[in-house]
Amino acid sequence: MTRRPVHRVLLALAVSLSLAACGGGGDEDSGPPQGEAVEAPAAEESPLEEPATQTCQSRPPTAEPAAGISTDLSVAPDVPPSDVPPPCDLLISDVVVGTGPEAVAGSTAAVRYVGAFYESGEEFDSSWSRGPDETLPVVVGAGQVIPGFEQAISGMNVGGRRLVTIPSDLGYGPQGQGPIPGGATLTFVIDLVDVTA
């Protein structure tokens, strides 16, 4: 008696089962019986497709500033709430275009800011709350702040004010930090006060 290797037996069994599943009997009708409703199989989600409920909205990278943001750089700005879906990407709007030196990689930017939650406009942090002359020094490109904040400063000119909406992936991500929950979209109003090399 000759022994066949197990893997050959398994291969033959798999091929036999596959052929049996594909083939049908001679007179058998493979369709449903006449008059019976047929339920379509449930559609499977492809990993490449967007989910049915999108949590953000694609918009141009820059947009018109929201109404109600003060252009007076001597006062703390209010951040309005939003009732539209948050953007999927970083959204930057110049409220005031600065005319001074530009913040570029490697330079130190002194900024004043107000940070708030996108949907509610509720403030979670503000340099203004520590005093009107209080600034945050940020070395552009050094990764000292969240990526969206740093990207918003880059290319800004002294004397400018920007409204910036930062999606979670450029903010604090799914883990959040402190009072900021995971997945939060954030809005900042940033004033560029000074730039040094």
Q: Which of 92, 117, 118, 146 is catalytic?
A: 146
124 in active site: yes
113 in active site: yes
On whether the CB atoms of residues 58 and 29 are closer than 8 A, the answer is no
Q: Which of 117, 118, 149, 188 is catalytic?
A: 188
188 in active site: yes
118 in active site: no
Round to whole Å and give the CA distance between 27 and 21: 16
Q: Which of 113, 117, 118, 149 is catalytic?
A: 113
Q: Which of 118, 166, 172, 190 is catalytic?
A: 172
146 in active site: yes
169 in active site: no
**DSSP per residue over 92-142, as a string?**
EEEEE---SPBP-TTPEEEEEEEEEETTT--EEEESGGG-TT--EEEETTS
For 61: left if phi > 0, alpha if psi spans -120 to 50, otherwise beta; the answer is: alpha
Question: Among candidates 107, 111, 108, 87, which has minimal Cα distance to 162?
Answer: 111
For residue 161, give the 3-state DSSP assignment.
strand
Give the amino acid at 11.
Answer: L
Give the active site residues: 113, 124-125, 146, 172, 188
